[in-house]
Amino acid sequence: MSQLVPTRTLGTVLFSRVPPFNPLYLDAWILYGVGWAALVMGVYAFAHAVTQRADAFTAAERLTKPAWLGITGGGAFVLMVFQLSSPGGMFWLAGVVAVMVYVVDVRPKLIEIQRGPRW
């Protein structure tokens, strides 16, 4: 007789480390919130990179659009799979850095190129 092997779905991966509702776990809840905020930022960065024109990336003297799609998409994927408090926390930090470089450096330059300088 074969045994059923439990499978991990996306929901079990994302919600597997929900801390108990207890004031003693305030630090765990803060890290949980930071993890979700980073994931939202990663998805936003990828969506923003998808909607931009390809020539704007080269005009901004940054990497090409496919490169940034790979960086932000990979960063969002890593943020979804790993957590800061897991053994893959280093990958999570790398994903946060990749997404934040896009949001802080590339995104404003793309907006300036497409809208023109602000007075």
117: pLDDT strictly greater than 80: no
d(Cα 50, Cα 44) in Å, to the nearest integer? 10
d(Cα 3, Cα 46) in Å, to the nearest integer? 40
* Residue found by looking up tokens 């980073």 in the block: 38
Domain ranges of the chain: 42-119
Q: Please compute the mean of the pLDDT values over residues 101-113 and round it to a whole number.
A: 91
Q: Which pLDDT score is estimated for 16? A: 58
Burial tier of 119 (Cβ tally within 10 Å: 0-12, 13-18, 19+): exposed
**Each residue of 45-70: pLDDT tens digit?**
999 999 998 998 888 888 999 999 99
93: pLDDT strictly greater than 90: yes
**Each residue of 3-22: pLDDT tens digit?**
655 555 555 555 556 666 77
Confidence band (pLDDT; 50, 70, 90) for 116? confident
Q: Which pLDDT score is estimated for 103? A: 94
d(Cα 114, Cα 5) in Å, to the nearest integer? 52
119: pLDDT strictly greater than 80: no
